[in-house]
């Protein structure tokens, strides 16, 4: 069975590598270090079971990327989640799923699994992926 694809967007290469190592047995982990790179992937038609994005990055922020995704790729917005070292009250109240840094590996796995979706062959979504039965 082909592994689902996960897009990680974070300007910190160390965080990207931690996520890749933690999830490589469950996902094909694709890493971008800028929101603009991730947006380009989506514009090129690439789709992901989940998008995990840092909030604070140089240039466009994770919230900026989320706004683009909601507008241009709504099927991906449902699986868009944020990483942040400093969750603000505004972020908490926004309802956007987020994982606070630093995080433990087990918490990361549970978080991503809970927010990943199963994609159809045409790039649409069907439902949240149940990784326990899919393994």
Per the listing, tokens 């890749």 go with 20
In this predicted structure, what is the pLDDT of residue 118?
76
Give the model confidence (pLDDT) of 28-62 as tens digits: 999 999 999 999 999 999 999 999 999 999 999 99
In this predicted structure, what is the pLDDT of residue 14?
95
Rounded-to-integer distance, Cα 113 and Cα 26, Å:
9
Rounded-to-integer distance, Cα 19 and Cα 34, Å:
16
Rounded-to-integer distance, Cα 48 and Cα 76, Å:
7
Angle at 20 between CA 51 and CA 14, to 5 degrees: 100
As beta bridge partners, residue 83 has 54, 99
As beta bridge partners, residue 128 has 117
In this predicted structure, what is the pLDDT of residue 127?
45
Instruction: Output Rg (C-alpha) for the chain, integer angstroms.
Output: 14
In this predicted structure, what is the pLDDT of residue 119?
62
CATH number of 5-127: 3.40.50.2300
* Residues of the chain under the 70 pLDDT cut: 119-135
Cβ proximity of 119 and 49 under 8 Å? yes
Closest CA to 130 of 109, 105, 113: 113
In this predicted structure, what is the pLDDT of residue 44?
98
Rounded-to-integer distance, Cα 57 and Cα 85, Å:
12
């Amino acid at each position: 069975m082909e592994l689902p694809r996960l897009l990680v967007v974070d300007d910190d290469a160390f965080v990207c590598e931690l996520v890749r190592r933690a999830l490589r047995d469950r996902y094909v982990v694709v890493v971008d270090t800028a929101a603009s790179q991730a947006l380009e992937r989506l514009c090129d038609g690439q789709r992901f079971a989940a998008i995990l994005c840092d909030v604070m990055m140089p240039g466009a922020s994770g919230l900026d990327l989320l706004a683009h995704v909601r507008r241009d790729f709504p099927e991906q917005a449902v699986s868009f989640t944020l990483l942040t070292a400093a969750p603000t009250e505004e972020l908490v109240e926004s309802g956007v799923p987020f994982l606070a840094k630093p995080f433990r590996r087990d918490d990361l796995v549970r978080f991503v699994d809970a927010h990943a979706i199963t994609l159809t062959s045409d790039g649409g979504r069907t439902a949240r992926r149940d990784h326990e039965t899919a393994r």
